[in-house]
Structure 1
Amino acid sequence: MQCQLSVHDDGDHYGLLTDAGEYGTALWIRWQERAEVDLVVLSDCPVVATGPDGEGCCLFVGHTELHTWEDTLKEVSCPI
């Protein structure tokens, strides 16, 4: 499983297992390097991007670093 958070070297890693579909929550797998794996239910991140599309963040409340649309922009940008 690959961590869903933007690039980071330490701390917890999270992988989405399934969208619970109820009450704005999802089931996540949480782990640290060389440590046990936990299953955790986390509330969805409520932040929405500005602009006409208003894409919502696909992570959870209180995640570190970037929202999913911010991370995607950096990955797909091309040098001029």
Structure 2
Amino acid sequence: MEQREVTDQNNTTWTCVQAYAGVSGQAAEKATDLAETSEGTVTVVCTPSGGEQTVRLELQSDWQQNLSDEALLKQLEEGKKNR
């Protein structure tokens, strides 16, 4: 399971992981296919280190490689507003 950590301006560290990323074996490929939308997005769950609530985001499937930390933090801020 590949995860990514970013820290916001309030010193909250967010651990983000793609939904179903922990699935392994034969179910992994099917779960990955089911998790990606026709628009090429996946659900990413970000869990905070502090008093914030978990945030679910819809990001492009290449978010791990091509989304900067700053852009991920901006998505988190938007996600917190839309809860």
- TM-score normalised by length of structure 1: 0.43
- TM-score normalised by length of structure 2: 0.42
Structure with greater contact order relative to length (CA < 8 Å, sep ≥ 6): 2
Write 1 or 2 for the structure with the bigger share of helix: 2
Query: Which protein is bigger by CA-based radius of gyration?
Result: 1
